[in-house]
Amino acid sequence: MRQITAGMVLITLALQGADTAGALRGYSQRAAAAEIEWEKKFRAIPQQNRLREYMQRLSARPHHIGSPYDKDNAEGILAELKSWGLDAKIEVFDTLFPTPLERSLEMLEPATYKAKLEEPSLPEDPTSGQKSEQLPTYNAYSIDGDVTGPIVYVNYGTPADYERLQRMGVSVSGAIVLARYGESWRGIKPKLAAEHGAIACLIYSDPHDDGYLRGDKFPKGPMRPSFGAQRGSVMDMPVYPGDPQTPGIGATPDAKKIPLNEVTTLSKIPVMPISYEDAEPFLQNLGGDVVPAAWRGNLPLTYHVGPGPAKAHLHLKFSWDRKPLYNVIARIPGSRYPDEWVIRGNHHDAWVNGAGDPVSGASAELEEARALAELRKQGWKPERTIIYCFWDGEEPGLLGSTEWAETHAAELKQHAVAYINSDGNGRGLFRAEGSHSLENFVNSVMKDVDDPETKMTVWKRRRLTDISRAAADKRGEIRARPDLRIPALGSGSDYTVFIDHLGIASLNVGYTGEDEGGGQYHSIYDDFYYYTHFMDTDFAYGRMLAETAGTMMMRLADAEVLPFQFTGLADTIHTYITELKKLATDQRAEIKERNAEIEDGTFAALMNPKQKMVPPAKEPVPPYINFAPLDNAADDLSRAAEGYETALLASGDRAPASLNARLIQSERLLTNAEGLPNRPWFQHLIYAPGFYTGYGVKTIPGVREAIEQKRPAEIEEQIVRVAKALKGEADLLDAATQELAATNRLPKR
């Protein structure tokens, strides 16, 4: 009777979305009560003034990989962790990290202009003057080059933008493209430009996207000034991240390195970021058609496409050195299940001073580690091993996390329960993206932490905001569903190797949305002055991040049964399959319609004879797709997930600990060792960064990208592969259910 009652309490609470007081998934009632007490004690420890001190220390000087202060910071973090009694060490790797030797950009025709390529120091902002230690504005992993050609403006440089250019009869072949930042990840812009025959790519920050259109310019306000430029990596990370010379293996001293000329993740053409002050003279000297309305930026000029007459000369030369990187790793041994690891990470390296990105997150992580160390002194002992990681080399290409995880891949596959990542943090709403087996878990933690400004729970605030912002037909679902949905992970921070390569259930968390910032991303002005004037100025949300992520770590580390929940995962997979079917149906209808219009001569009728517009070419209509294997496997997963849920609730406090060994493998089963088509490093079959979006996620990527990229021969093979993985997941849950049922038949403890 008691078992059933416990189950009913859980269901009722979940449906009402009420606080979880007294009932925690994976905990017996007695254990839950103790856990809740410890978590409350933990959340009372983090202090805002300490977060401010860490930030001041870590962002005091530029600290990119290979710089003196990067090493200094790693040693500083290590010393702090040790001073709190934690077992910590630095793990060193060496990786390829190019830095500029020569950079020049000039306009040769029809006027002359020499680009400044310089972010000036500002008297208000003390660290902006640390010139000798700052990396210049550049895109890491651009190849060397010396090229001259006409400029073509390509808007954001996305696949749709190139389709439009083709319709306008404009080719970028032999040209230097000028793209603006935004929409796609920056590395996609030179990748697509090269595929279309361009010889170089310039990327500028238009005031429309993070400049004066959005708010006052720095230092009066938070937005990017006229001479501000965005550094950043253009490594082809959708192929594989990490050290370009050691794909798939850790960059240890004895690792076999592939020669530079065989590396596939460098850009194919030279690429450089510029400010809008440097872009404006080129834009002013473009002829050709006026751009489509959606392509207009916010500079005071009429945007034309070109090509030319503006003609540019770009010269780039880099030093192709390998640099040491310093990951700081701290371990709190598990008292009961030392071989089950719960892992937390945030990077410590920055492009320049990096107060926002990443120090705001790294400071919170550091305070979280201190609070857990403090809690241990009060008598708390985590059941599982907890690992805190401070990564180096995230900015150039997720180097530190990737090399560490590749080095320890075998142990991680066996022992890792979950990975929780954060990066730059701001003010506002809590956001979490990640594995859907952790969706319910994330919701449970969100219900136990209070927003510092509105005083309501973080969960309630997020839910009410989501409802108010949702489309009319989506509101009902948010109100009815016990858990808020979490988005899937793409790429763009250190979780990538954990989820996409190793199949470790992962989350990326942080607070965002109400800070005024974003405009200093990867500039010399993302520093202590900027952060304390425009971002989370009193560190209230930094403390919240420490409290929230720390609670997650504790709750995962102490659970008797790992708190994965699979009905939410199954439900999410059904929504992805529905999306895929719609994608295929819409694409087929669009191609049919366009082919008909081409035959009817519609494009000739619509065309303004004075504009040169090229009608599109007819395309083969894609065949119908058999989604049945995917439908059947997803239904099977739903059934198995519900069965497990029922058995778990019925087990009350008697779930066997051996269950956890199975559950740890649950995310691993969603991977395939052969990886995705053309990119074997990416092994997760449900989540991957898009090949042509970069950071943006593609769910069920093997199938989705085969449809989008019109490779029909691949689709059904990919469907079968995903279906097989889902079936494997269902089998694991069935085995777990049987194990629970056997326990439930035993006499009560």
**What DSSP string runs through 524-591?**
TT-SHHHHHHHSSTT-HHHHHHHHHHHHHHHHHHH-SS----SHHHHHHHHHHHHHHHHHHHHHHHHH
Binding to Zn ion in span 90-109, by CB under 5 A: none
Listed ranges 174-182, 354-362, 510-518, 581-589: which one lies at the site for Zn ion (CB under 5 A): 354-362
Residue 697: CB minimum distance to Zn ion, A: 18
357 binds Zn ion (CB under 5 A): yes
In this structure, how many other beta carbons lie within 10 angstroms of the beta carbon of residue 253?
7
571 binds Zn ion (CB under 5 A): no
The amino acid present at 48, given as its one-letter code, is Q
Q: Judged by CB, which is closer to Zn ion: 115, or 350?
A: 350
Q: What are phi and psi of 258, to 5 degrees?
A: -80, 145
Residue 169: CB minimum distance to Zn ion, A: 41
Q: What are 740's two structure tokens?
A: 């629970």
Angle value at C-alpha 354, between 403 and 554, nearest 5 degrees: 60
Q: What is the end-to-end Cα distance of the chain in Å, rounded?
A: 14
Q: Judged by CB, which is closer to Zn ion: 202, or 355?
A: 355
Residue 424: CB minimum distance to Zn ion, A: 5
Measuring CA to CA, which residue among 125, 171, 244 is closest to residue 530? 125
Residue 265: CB minimum distance to Zn ion, A: 19
Residue 351: CB minimum distance to Zn ion, A: 9
Listed ranges 10-18, 172-180, 330-338, 356-364: which one lies at the site for Zn ion (CB under 5 A): 356-364
Residue 232: CB minimum distance to Zn ion, A: 10
Q: Judged by CB, which is closer to Zn ion: 119, or 357?
A: 357
Listed ranges 418-426, 581-589, 635-643, 710-718: which one lies at the site for Zn ion (CB under 5 A): 418-426
749: buried, middle or exposed (CB in 10 Å: 19+, 13-18, 0-12)?
exposed
Residue 394: CB minimum distance to Zn ion, A: 5
User: What Cα–Cα distance (Å) separates residue 350 from each residue in 60, 134, 244, 362?
Assistant: 12, 11, 19, 11
**Total chain residues near Zn ion (CB under 5 A):** 3
Q: Judged by CB, which is closer to Zn ion: 437, or 493?
A: 493
Question: Which residue from 39, 70, 161, 423 is in contact with Zn ion, where contact means CB under 5 A?
Answer: 423
Q: Judged by CB, which is closer to Zn ion: 238, or 354?
A: 354
Listed ranges 246-254, 422-430, 625-633, 661-669: which one lies at the site for Zn ion (CB under 5 A): 422-430
Q: Judged by CB, which is closer to Zn ion: 20, or 233?
A: 233
Listed ranges 352-360, 406-414, 537-545, 603-611: which one lies at the site for Zn ion (CB under 5 A): 352-360
Listed ranges 415-423, 474-482, 558-566, 694-702: which one lies at the site for Zn ion (CB under 5 A): 415-423
DSSP 299: S
CA atoms of 249 and 257, how far apart (whole Å): 10
Residue 534: CB minimum distance to Zn ion, A: 18
Asked whether the beta carbons of 225 and 217 are under 8 A apart, the reply is yes
Listed ranges 85-93, 142-150, 420-428, 632-640: which one lies at the site for Zn ion (CB under 5 A): 420-428
DSSP 498: I
Q: Judged by CB, which is closer to Zn ion: 423, or 439?
A: 423
The residues, ordered by sequence, that sit 6+ positions from 455 with a Cβ below 8 Å of its Cβ are none
In this structure, how many other beta carbons lie within 10 angstroms of the beta carbon of residue 163?
11
From residue 719 to residue 748, the character string flagging contacts with Zn ion as x (rule: CB under 5 A) and all else as - is ------------------------------
Q: What are phi and psi of 23, to 5 degrees?
A: -140, 110
From residue 529 to residue 568, the character string flagging contacts with Zn ion as x (rule: CB under 5 A) and all else as - is ----------------------------------------
Q: Judged by CB, which is closer to Zn ion: 393, or 568?
A: 393
From residue 294 to residue 333, the character string flagging contacts with Zn ion as x (rule: CB under 5 A) and all else as - is ----------------------------------------
Question: Which residue from 358, 400, 542, 694 is in contact with Zn ion, where contact means CB under 5 A?
Answer: 358
Name residue, tokens 């005031």.
Answer: 207
State the pairing for strand pair 139-140/87-96.
unpaired
Q: What are phi and psi of 104, to 5 degrees?
A: -150, 145
Q: Judged by CB, which is closer to Zn ion: 358, or 568?
A: 358
Listed ranges 228-236, 406-414, 419-427, 444-452: which one lies at the site for Zn ion (CB under 5 A): 419-427
Measuring CA to CA, which residue among 100, 106, 275 is closest to residue 176? 106
Q: Judged by CB, which is closer to Zn ion: 349, or 451?
A: 349
Residue 510: CB minimum distance to Zn ion, A: 10
Q: Judged by CB, which is closer to Zn ion: 306, or 358?
A: 358
CA atoms of 272 and 229, how far apart (whole Å): 10
Residue 730: CB minimum distance to Zn ion, A: 37
CA atoms of 274 and 415, how far apart (whole Å): 45
The residues, ordered by sequence, that sit 6+ positions from 183 with a Cβ below 8 Å of its Cβ are 156, 158
4: buried, middle or exposed (CB in 10 Å: 19+, 13-18, 0-12)?
exposed
CA atoms of 704 and 577, how far apart (whole Å): 10
Listed ranges 230-238, 246-254, 290-298, 423-431: which one lies at the site for Zn ion (CB under 5 A): 423-431
Q: Judged by CB, which is closer to Zn ion: 426, or 503?
A: 426
The amino acid present at 397, given as its one-letter code, is G
Residue 347: CB minimum distance to Zn ion, A: 6
CA atoms of 327 and 167, how far apart (whole Å): 49
Helix (H, G, I), strand (E, B) or coil at 147: strand
The amino acid present at 625, given as its one-letter code, is I
| 132 Cα distance to chain centroid | 31
Listed ranges 409-417, 421-429, 560-568, 616-624: which one lies at the site for Zn ion (CB under 5 A): 421-429
492 binds Zn ion (CB under 5 A): no
> By the criterion CB under 5 A, which residues form the site for Zn ion?
357-358, 423
